[in-house]
Structure 1
Amino acid sequence: MAALPSRWAMARVSGPSMSPTVRHGDRLLVRRVRHGAGVAPGTVVLARFPSRPELLVVKRVRRAVPGGHWVEGDNAFVADDSRAFGPATVVGRVVARMWPRPGRLPGPPPG
């Protein structure tokens, strides 16, 4: 599974799965993570699913599992995450939103 081509990347959010934390059209600054690096639960990441390697997704890490990380969107009504595709490989950690509301992302929603 391909890593990000450089240390830093920009990602554009497509769809409602991470709403309200990030929304469709948001631009995010992402920092590449080393293959196999641990990522803390609650971290918003850029990830790939082995079953859908062409798809990059922005999700929140719930826990480490055999084969990668269990990732889910913050919008419980959209299940295009590990609930549908299994464990994911994290390729980058979202550092900040660059547009349209620059700044750090809020923590996980309650619940």
Structure 2
Amino acid sequence: MVPTLNPGDHLVVQYGAPVRPGDIVLMRHPFRQDLLIVKRAVERREGGWWVLGDNPYVENDSREFGTVPDEFVVARAVVRLRRPPRAGQRSAVALLSWAASAVRPVLRSSPRSSFAR
């Protein structure tokens, strides 16, 4: 989900929330239901949601596994929490920069604007 989410980011999610195009969702992987993944819901299609990652070079999304059934969508992301700077990067400037951007709402984007097709 880079650039929207980075490795180590945490999400606050709302279970059972209605999903609309452009939302970031937590879902069960269609081929491994024990694995939870994060994708952007792009559009409703027959049979469920078409989901894509925000990184156009990674195809672990509906381009690979097709439409995702509604029951596989577990929750909608509400807030992103950035991970704090590592021990060697904890200068006052780094901590202030982190604090200013650590908690951000996960905004819905236009489903087509986030993806290079």
What TM-score do you get using the length of structure 2 for normalisation? Answer: 0.68
Is 1:90 equivalent to 2:73 in the alignment? yes
Does the CA-based 8 Å contact 1:62-1:72 persist in structure 2? Answer: yes
User: In structure 2, what is the Cα distance between the partners aligned to 1:110 and 1:91?
Assistant: 23
Taking the aligned partners of 2:54 and 2:104, their CA distance within structure 1 comes to 18
- 1:103: which partner in 2? 104
Hey, what does 2:43 align to over in structure 1?
63
Letter in 2 for 1:103: R
Alignment root-mean-square deviation, CA: 1.9
Structure 1: 4+ residue segments shifted above 6 A: none
Is 1:78 aligned to residue 64 of structure 2? Answer: no
CA shift for structure 1 position 65? 1.7
Q: Greater helix percent: which structure?
A: 2
> What whole-Å deviation, never above 9, does each CA across 1:67-86 have from its counterpart, x for those lacking one?
22111000000000111112
Paired with 1:67 and 1:48, the residues of 2 have a C-alpha distance of 15
Q: Is the 8 A contact 1:48 1:57 kept in 2?
A: yes
2:29 maps to which residue? 49
- Structure with bigger gyration radius: 2
SS in 1 for 2:11: strand
Q: Quick check: which one's strand share is greater?
A: 1
TM-score by length of 1: 0.72
Q: Structure 2 unaligned segments of length 5 or more: list them.
A: 84-101
Per the alignment, residue 32 of structure 1 pairs with 15
CA distance in structure 2 between the aligned counterparts of 1:40 and 1:86, rounded to whole angstroms: 18
The 1:68–1:110 alpha-carbon spacing in structure 2 relative to 1, beyond 3 Å, is closer
